[in-house]
Amino acid sequence: RLAPSHRLLAANFCSLKLGPSDFITMSAEPFIISGPLEPKLYFANERTLLHWLHTCLTLASIGMVLTSASTSTSPVMLIAGIALSIVSVGLMWYAYRIFLWRMEKIGSRAGERADDPLGPLLISGALVAALVATGVVTIMQIQWSTFFSKTF
């Protein structure tokens, strides 16, 4: 239930007759920001880079574990670990380039978008590839161990 003062506000709001000209629309043209830049923009950009690097280091760690756990009878783990490590280094480079691109956008003070629609897809794809590679390696090791135990 609304308080009496809130009921009055709700009734007044519901009785408004608004037309299309009453709404503020965004222009497609970039706008120039005049005034000092807030430091939180720079810190948010750095924080995003650090989150990306944390994810990339996790992927690289998984790759190193796969590489170190490989044996001479199972080169699949070695290949998966090396591939995951290379993908991780590539994502680190990509994160750094996006960081520099965003710094340029922030420094230019133009009202352009500075989001990255491709980055989350790359990270998600790399994580899915890591999971699939780990599952394939595990299944292949189980099959190889049962094959070698039956033949010898």
pLDDT tens-place string over residues 22-71: 444 455 555 455 566 678 888 888 999 999 899 899 989 988 998 888 87
Angle at 102 between CA 104 and CA 53, to 5 degrees: 130
Statement: residue 19 has pLDDT above 70? no
- What is the percent of the chain where pLDDT is above 90? 14
49/55 Cα distance (integer angstroms): 10
Digit-coded pLDDT (tens) for 118-133: 878 877 887 787 778 7
b/e per residue, 18-57, with b = 16+ CB within 10 A?
A: eeeeeeeeeeeeeeeeeeeeeeeeeeebeebbeebbebbe
80/86 Cα distance (integer angstroms): 10
Interval 109-121 mean pLDDT? 76
Statement: residue 2 has pLDDT above 60? no
Q: Where are the alpha helices (DSSP H) in 15-118?
A: 39-68, 75-108
The pTM for the full model equals: 0.61
Interval 92-117 mean pLDDT? 83
Mean residue pLDDT of the chain comes to: 75
Nearest to 105 by CA among 29, 33, 3: 33
pLDDT at site 40: 85
At residue 74 the predicted structure's pLDDT band, cuts being 50, 70 and 90, is low
47/36 Cα distance (integer angstroms): 21
Look up residue 117 and give its DSSP letter: S
